[in-house]
């Protein structure tokens, strides 16, 4: 098939899933056309069957808000005509699904089929903004096929947008070979030179990630066990988290590493991954950690319980339950047999339920079903 993938190219779950899906499909012989405003960060080097088409946005001074949606729609048409696309797969409803719909209309119904994948914030945060509501609902309902990355997100989308079409859950996935947690890929000593335990959190540091909770957990854990916290990412909550670390006296034990392109080299270094989010449709970073044999301590909201098996591959607690999360961290850090057992179970679950080998064929089948309708 000739498939265009529209995604955000920056660090963030939806762009990661879109890119890994495109690369995986290209390896299976499909021709993949990424369309975005810059090359997706996980698209590393030359890949056979993969093309990248950049959307130029006019900087004409009259445009206070350059119309990216229109430039994207135009690019979709250009690529469709040049490569006879079968499917345009929009990752994230706003504006990707809307631009794909517009492109289809401009091609007078002769364009490719449109598949939209909902990732979470397009529904839970952006979708709730009344200024986007009608556009999100319309774009979802006009897609030829819609997937969501968890059952939680599927049900929430149908309920909140009163949708008249069905949504199919296709879980996010991980390349379990690349994300294997092989210890030689990173040195734990770099971050924990005195043999301390190592906690890790990776996100875009927005308020839903509750970055401050990771610092509070560290402070509690350090009262019992020498531990370091590795924070990967950048975002609006960084400064507040830094100040909190200073106030709680754990600043020297908190390492802000910034954004990292090769997180697979770091996840396996940690003893535990922290994901105390207040909203999470899936929690891709938690899955990548599990694949690297790193159990997860987090909140039991959204799609996280579909990814992390509570009591087997980590422990989940209500949002903001810092004491319980810290207790769970201590439970695992103080019992190496149990920690190893959880680490093995985490990797096993990632392989059994969320490997690229299992999930990518589900997308292929989804495209085929839509094309044959």
Contact between 98 and ligand GMT per CB under 6 A: no
Least separation in angstroms between CB 234 and ligand GMT: 13
Choice between 119 and 197, CB closer to ligand GMT: 119
- Indicate the helix (H) or strand (E) that contains 30: none
Least separation in angstroms between CB 216 and ligand GMT: 20
Cα angle, residue 359 at apex, residues 200 and 31 outer, rounded to 5°: 110
296/274 Cα distance (integer angstroms): 6
36/6 Cα distance (integer angstroms): 6
- With CB under 6 A, what is the number of residues at the site for ligand GMT? 21
Binding ligand GMT (rule: CB under 6 A), the pick from 98, 180, 204, 293 is: 204
Unique residue bearing structure tokens 């959880």: 342
Number of Cβ within a 10 Å radius of residue 273: 27
Least separation in angstroms between CB 125 and ligand GMT: 7
Contact between 111 and ligand GMT per CB under 6 A: no
Direct distance between the N- and C-terminal alpha carbons of the chain, in angstroms, rounded to an integer: 15
Strands of the sheet containing 31-36, edge to edge, are 50-54, 31-36, 2-6, 87-91, 113-118, 145-148, 168-169
Least separation in angstroms between CB 15 and ligand GMT: 6
Choice between 157 and 204, CB closer to ligand GMT: 204
Span from 36-44, 251-259, 275-283, 335-343 in contact with ligand GMT (CB under 6 A): 275-283
- Judged by DSSP in three states, 35 sits in strand
Site string for ligand GMT, 144-183 (x = CB under 6 A): -----x----------------------x-----------
Number of Cβ within a 10 Å radius of residue 86: 18
Task: Give the interface with ligand GMT as residue ranges (CB under 6 A).
Answer: 12-15, 17, 92, 119-121, 124, 149, 172, 204, 206, 208, 279-284
């Amino acid at each position: 098939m000739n498939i265009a993938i529209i995604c955000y190219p920056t660090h963030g779950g939806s762009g990661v899933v879109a890119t890994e899906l495109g690369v995986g499909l290209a390896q299976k012989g499909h021709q993949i056309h990424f369309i975005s405003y810059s090359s997706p960060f996980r698209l590393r080097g030359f890949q056979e069957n993969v093309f990248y088409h950049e959307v130029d946005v006019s900087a004409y001074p009259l445009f206070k808000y350059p119309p990216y949606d229109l430039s994207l729609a135009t690019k979709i048409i250009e690529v469709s005509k040049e490569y006879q696309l079968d499917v345009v797969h929009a990752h994230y409803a706003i504006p990707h699904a809307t631009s794909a719909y517009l492109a289809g209309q401009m091609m007078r119904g002769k364009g490719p089929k449109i598949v939209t994948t909902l990732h979470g914030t397009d529904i839970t945060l952006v979708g709730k903004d009344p200024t986007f509501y009608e556009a999100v609902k319309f774009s979802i309902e006009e897609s030829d096929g819609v997937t969501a990355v968890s059952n939680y997100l599927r049900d929430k989308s149908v309920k909140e947008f009163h949708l008249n079409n069905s949504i199919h859950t296709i879980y996010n996935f991980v390349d379990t070979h690349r994300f294997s947690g092989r210890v030689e890929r990173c040195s734990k000593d770099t971050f924990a030179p005195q043999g301390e335990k190592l906690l890790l959190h990776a996100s875009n540091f927005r308020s839903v990630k509750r970055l401050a909770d990771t610092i509070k957990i560290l402070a509690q854990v350090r009262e019992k066990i020498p531990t370091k916290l590795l924070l990967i990412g950048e975002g609006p909550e960084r400064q507040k988290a830094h100040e909190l670390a200073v106030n709680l006296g754990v600043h020297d034990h908190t390492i802000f590493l910034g954004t990292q392109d090769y997180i697979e080299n770091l996840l396996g270094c940690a003893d535990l991954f922290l994901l105390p989010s207040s909203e999470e449709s899936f929690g891709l970073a938690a899955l990548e950690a599990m694949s690297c044999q790193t159990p997860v301590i987090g909140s039991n909201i959204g799609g996280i319980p579909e990814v992390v098996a509570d009591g087997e591959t980590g422990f989940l607690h209500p949002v903001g339950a810092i004491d319980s999360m810290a207790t769970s961290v201590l439970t695992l850090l103080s019992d190496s047999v149990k920690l190893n057992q959880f680490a093995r179970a985490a990797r096993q679950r990632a392989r059994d339920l969320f490997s690229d080998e299992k999930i990518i064929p589900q997308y292929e089948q989804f495209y085929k079903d839509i094309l044959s309708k």
